[in-house]
Structures are given as C-alpha cells and as structure tokens.
Structure 1
Amino acid sequence: MQFAEEIVVDEFLPTIRSLLAGDLRDRGLTQSEVADVLGISQSAVSKYAHGDVTVNDRIAEDDRVRDLVDELGSGLAAGDISPVQVLIEIEVLIRELESGGDLLAQLHEEAVPELADHGSGFRVHDPESDLRTSERVLSSLRRGLGMLETASGFTGLIPAVGSNLVACTPDAETVDDVAGVPGRIFDVKGQATVPADPEFGVSEHVAQVLLAARRHGADASAAINITYDPELIDELTERGRVAAEFDESGDVASSVGAAIEDEPEATVLYQTGGMGIEPLIYVLDTDAESIADTIRSLI
C-alpha cells in the first residue's frame, strides 16, 4: 500500500528542489544563499548540484513544473516573493497534479494499479485559499514598495503625514483585508524609508479611502496618498486619469463615496485641506505595481 503523499515526498519534492536549487545557482546565488532561501542545508544543496538526488524525469519535464521553477527562482533571486509564498505555490501545484488523471495521480495509480478502477481524484486543497490570496497581495505590495524606494525623486511626493501604499484582497470589506506599511513611508534625509514589511490591518486612513471607493463601484485594489499639488492633478488628467475632489473634513467614507458616484471612472481622488487637515492626493489602481509605475512617471 502506497499513499499519494509518498509519491510527493519520494518523487516530486526531490525533483522540484533539485530544479529550483539549480535555477538559483544559475542566477548567481552561492550555495550558502541557496540553502538559506530554500531552508535546507548546504550539504543538501551540494547533493542537488552534483546530481546525487534522484530526479523523476516525467515530473522534471512537465511544463507546469518548469514554469513554476522559473517563476519562483526569479522571484526568490530578486527578493520579490517570500519563502511562505513559494511553499504555497508549490503546494497548489501539487494539488493540481494530484487531481484525477493528472501527473501525480498517474504515478500513484501506476504504483497502486487498483486505484485506476476507482477513477479517484486527490484534490484536497483549494488553490484560491485565503492564505494564497493574502500572500499574493503582500508579494505585489512588496514589489510596488521596492519600485518606490528606488525611484529618484519620490521623496518630493511624500506628504508631511507620510505616504502609504496599500493593497487589498479581492473581497475586502474592512481594514483587516487591506495590507499596508506599518508606520507609513517617510522621507528620512532624502531617502524614502519603508520602516517594516507590509502587513494586513495596519493602515487606517488610506485603507478607508480605498474601501470607500470600492464600495461605491471603483475598480481598484490598491491606493497611495501623495502630497497635493494642482499641477500633479493636471498631469494625471493629461495622462487619461479621471480626478474627483472630496471633502475630508466630514465623514471620509461618505465623502469619497459621493465623489465616486459623481465621477464613476475616477482613479485620482483629492482634497484641498482645511483646519488641521493636510491636502492630499490619492491614486487608485488595480495593483501596487501599477500605482508605483504611475508615481514614478510623475517624478
């Protein structure tokens, strides 16, 4: 008797680890760095590098496996994805390959021929799980923040209260469904400084603006606040953006909602300030990277 999990442990994991270790080495990472990234020992990396680990050719030659190795290798080498997301993405691929008739199911049925008579499928995980969705949001947010950190001149757009780049899950309803930078992004001696890795539930204000816009029909999953300047509004509208003003002295959610209802296509929201309120521009888009691209184009 052999379980599907044994096929995964004995055939799939050694193969994908070997492929991923080789991909990272090809991208210039040292043996020690590969070990750190993959969470394995240097001796294990050495075994993979020298072909001392048996690789299943059918798994190694599967296009989905190769595509995922390339995607994960690129992301890990660039620091754009976390080890947790690597684990999730590999887990999702395993569940896909375990489904009835697919590669791991075939290998399992070949090891246990009696299974073929039952037409069994082995999908036990939802590939669109909350954990996977959250990791995707955080990964996108990290990439957007990295783009802003290295953008020369971005500090000139950071308001006195600081900026925050936020992104939300597809079904976001509360600030806990919105990820942002704890403590916001500040200008520290001319350098845009992100004080900590993004987390969910740490942004109040920018998250509320994004959620209010979404509740009133805005097709946006990310937002950023920058300093107010009429020339920036003009430049954004010249680039095809629709701008709408709202009043932040009252209830923000209601004011943003009213602005979106007046201008349903608005992706630039702004308020001109008031007593104790700094004027700000909010740029909305489908993801964090698109917002970072827009901001860099303003510099």
Structure 2
Amino acid sequence: MRFIEEVVVDEFLPTVRSMLAEDLRERGFTQHEVAEALGISQSAVSKYAHGDVARHDRIVADERVRELVERVGEGLATEELTPVAALVEIEVLIRRLEEGDLLADLHEEAMPALADADVEFAVHDPDSGLRERERVRSSVRRGLRTLTNASGFAGLIPNVGANVAECLDDARTIDDVAAVPGRLVDVKGRAMVPGEPEFGVSEHVASVLLAAREAGASARGAVNVRYAPETVEALAADHPTVAFDPERSTREAVAAAVESAEETGGDTLVLYQTGAVGVEPIAYVLAPTAADAADIVRELI
C-alpha cells in the first residue's frame, strides 16, 4: 500500500527542491542563501548542486512545474514572495496535480489497483484564503518597489505620509486590507518604508478604499499622494477624477464622489479633496491592484 502523500514526499518534493535550488543558484544566491530560502540544510543544497538527489523526469518535464519553479524562484529572489507565499504556491500545484493529474498518474503506477477504481483526490481548495492574502501582500510589495525605486516619488508624499494598500475581494473592514504599517514618509528626499505589508494597519487609505468599494467601485488597490492642481490635472487626462468633501464623513463623501463618477466607467478612479481646517489636501489613486495604482503614480514623476 502506498499513499499519494508518499509520491509527493519521495518524488515530487525532492525534484522541485532540486529545481528551485538550481534556479536560485543561477540567480546569484549563495549556498547558504538557498538553504535559508528553501528551509533546508546546506548539505542538502550541496547534494542538489552535485546531482546527488535523483529527479523524476516526468515532473521535471511538466510545464506547470517548470513555470512554478521560475515564478517562485523570481519571487524569492526579488522578495515579492515570502517563504510562506512560496509554500502556498507549491501546495496549490501539488493539490491540483493530485486531482486526476500528474501525481494521481504516478500514484496509480505505484498502486495499479487504483487504475480500476473511479477515484478523485479533491484534497484542498486551491483558492484558499491564505493564498489570496499572500497574493495581496505580494501585490503591495510590488507597488512599494515601483514607487521607492522611482526617483522623485518622495516629493509626492503628503505631510501625513503615504501608503500603498490592497484589499481582499470580499473586504469588509480594515483587517481585510494590506498596507504598510506606519505609512511611507519623506526622509531627506527618499521614501522610507517602515515595515513589511500587513493586514489591518491602515485606517486612513483603507477607509477610503473600502468606502469606494462599498459605493460600487471595483478597485482593490490604492495609493495616496500629495494634492496639487497639476497632479490632479495630469491624472484626469487618463482616469476618471472626482473631488470629495473632506468635512463630511469619509464613507458619505467618498460614496457621493463614486456615484458621481459612475458614468465614466473604467476600472481606475482618482478621488481628491482640497483640504479643510486641520485636514491636509490629498489625492487617492484607486486601481485594480496596489501594483496598478503604483504604476499610475509613477507616471506622475
């Protein structure tokens, strides 16, 4: 008797780890860095590098496996994927390949009696909440990298700070929105990022994003920038742009602005307010993802 988990452990994981180790080494990782990224020992990395661990030819040849290795390798190298996100991506592919696919075929070869049975392995839901949360965090990281690498972005940061945010598809509260804890600030002409993206840390930008979605906007990503007439004019050239009243509640003011912009259509929206007593004027760029919103802001520089 052989379980499909044994096929995963004995054949799939050694093959994928070997491919990932090779990919990361080609990206310039040291043996120690590869070991840390994959959560394995340096001696194991050495075995992979010297071909001491056998690879399963059918797994190596599978295009989905090769695409996964390249995507995870790039994500780990650029830090757009955390080890947890990488683990989730690999787990998702494993579960898909177990469901009447490559791993199920290898299991049937190990257990021929399975070929005569109508067996499906619906083990896990590939669209898990954990996977979506990691995807959102990765999108925020991409947006941050876009902006912090852009010369001149610091000049667009408001006095109260900027943030890059993205929410889950069914977001209801700020706990469903990932953003930078503490906001981005301008330090001597450079945008400083105080920490890794987290959920539930943005009350300001998250509130605007959630209010816009509640009013019917489809955007999941947002970036706020310093208000200036020329900034709004530049954004209005390509995106629906609407002012809202900063003296009303965020929910009411944003809802009214979104409703007034309904006829313009599109999946991006710029909301702005020109300030009030004790309220700094700010513009908010809303887009399908945080990375998309960051791309729009980068065009202003």
Q: Normalising to structure 2: TM-score of the pair?
A: 0.97
Residue 290 of structure 1 and its aligned partner are, at CA, apart by 1.3
2:128 match: 129
The amino acid of 1:295's aligned partner reads V
Residue 13 of structure 1 and its aligned partner are, at CA, apart by 0.2
Residues 92-133 of structure 1: per-residue CA shift (max 9 Å, x gap): 000010002x11001111111111222211121111000000
Distance in 1 between residues matched to 2:118 and 2:11, nearest whole Å: 22
Distance in 2 between residues matched to 1:196 and 1:114, nearest whole Å: 53
Distance in 1 between residues matched to 2:261 and 2:74, nearest whole Å: 40
1:165 match: 164
More deviation, 199-208/114-123: 114-123
Unmatched segments (≥5 aa) in structure 1: none
1:26 match: 26
Q: Secondary structure at the match of 2:299?
A: helix
2:257 match: 259
The amino acid of 1:216's aligned partner reads A
Residues 135-193 of structure 1: per-residue CA shift (max 9 Å, x gap): 00001101111111111111110001000110011111111110111100001122101
Structure-to-structure mapping, 1:78-157, within 5 angstroms? 78-100=78-100, 102-157=101-156
2:224 match: 225
* Percent identical residues: 60
Residue 68 of structure 1 and its aligned partner are, at CA, apart by 0.5
Structure-to-structure mapping, 1:17-56, within 5 angstroms? 17-56=17-56
Q: Secondary structure at the match of 1:255?
A: helix
Distance in 2 between residues matched to 1:167 and 1:60, nearest whole Å: 35
Q: Secondary structure at the match of 2:285?
A: strand
Q: How many residue pairs end up in the alignment?
A: 297
Distance in 1 between residues matched to 2:95 and 2:257, nearest whole Å: 44
Distance in 2 between residues matched to 1:119 and 1:24, nearest whole Å: 40
Residues 190-230 of structure 1: per-residue CA shift (max 9 Å, x gap): 21011010100111111011011111111201111111101
Distance in 2 between residues matched to 1:112 and 1:165, nearest whole Å: 51
The amino acid of 2:182's aligned partner reads G
Residue 12 of structure 1 and its aligned partner are, at CA, apart by 0.3
Residue 249 of structure 1 and its aligned partner are, at CA, apart by 1.1
Q: Normalising to structure 1: TM-score of the pair?
A: 0.97
Q: Secondary structure at the match of 1:142?
A: helix
Q: Secondary structure at the match of 2:178?
A: strand
The amino acid of 1:253's aligned partner reads R
Compute the RMSD of aligned alpha carbons: 1.0
The amino acid of 1:115's aligned partner reads L
Residues 7-31 of structure 1: per-residue CA shift (max 9 Å, x gap): 0000000000001101111112111
Q: Secondary structure at the match of 1:23?
A: helix
Q: Secondary structure at the match of 1:179?
A: strand
Distance in 1 between residues matched to 2:73 and 2:224, nearest whole Å: 33
The amino acid of 2:41's aligned partner reads S
2:287 match: 285
